[in-house]
Amino acid sequence: MEFTLLYWHWIVIGIALMLFEIFVGTFFIFWFGAAAVVVGLLMVPLPEMSVIAQILIWAVSSTAFAIAWFKLIKPLNIDKTKAGLSKEQLLGEIGQVLRVPDGEKRGKVRFPAPVLGSDEWLIISQDELVVGDRVSVKDLSGNALIVEKA
């Protein structure tokens, strides 16, 4: 008995994997499902494709989708706002200036240990700062810290 995968097998498997992702929540299984749908759609015009070619296309496209997501697309979607954060945890923290604020351009500070999940923050300051200065957090303005020399 010869085993044959038809185009709709791949599409059903792909949709099932993508639906399974809803319950798992890793956003990794989704790409295996998307690749299976791609193989199914490729089989519509090419129904005589060998099983080995189908599996190879599925493996390569799964890998490509996963790499594209984790290396290219996901980093663009990181929420850079710090809305709703506990201001009290920031006040008084001491960090080192990495980039000096210049006019409308905000500077950047690095803390020795991450503060509320990030070790680098944008800063605003009325003081004259130079790179390497130690600064203390006095307030929060949007997603930037208001600092003064420590």
Mean pLDDT of 86-113: 88
Q: What is the pLDDT of residue 114?
A: 84
87 pLDDT exceeds 90?
no
Q: Could you give the C-alpha distances from 67 to 17, 59, 62, 76, 150, in angstroms and in order?
A: 18, 12, 9, 14, 43
Positions of E strands within the chain: 94-99, 107-115, 118-125, 134-141, 144-149
Cα 11 from Cα 93, distance rounded (Å): 54
- Work out the number of other CB atoms within 10 angstroms of the CB of residue 126: 10
30 band by pLDDT with thresholds 50, 70 and 90: very high
Q: What is the pLDDT of residue 17?
A: 95
Cα 135 from Cα 97, distance rounded (Å): 7
Q: What is the pLDDT of residue 83?
A: 53
CA 144 to chain centre: 21
What are the structural domain ranges in the chain? 7-77, 87-149
Superfamily grouping for domain 87-149: Nucleic acid-binding proteins (2.40.50.140)
Q: Establish how many alpha carbons lie within 13 A of residue 43's alpha carbon, considering only the half-sphere containing its beta carbon.
A: 25
The DSSP call for residue 116 is T
- pLDDT tens digits for range 105-147: 899 999 988 887 788 999 999 889 999 999 999 998 888 999 9
- pLDDT tens digits for range 40-85: 999 999 999 999 999 999 999 999 999 988 888 777 766 555 455 5
86 pLDDT exceeds 80?
no
User: 123 pairs with which residues across the strands?
Assistant: 107, 145
- Token output for 40: 């199914």
Top pLDDT among 21 and 83 is at 21
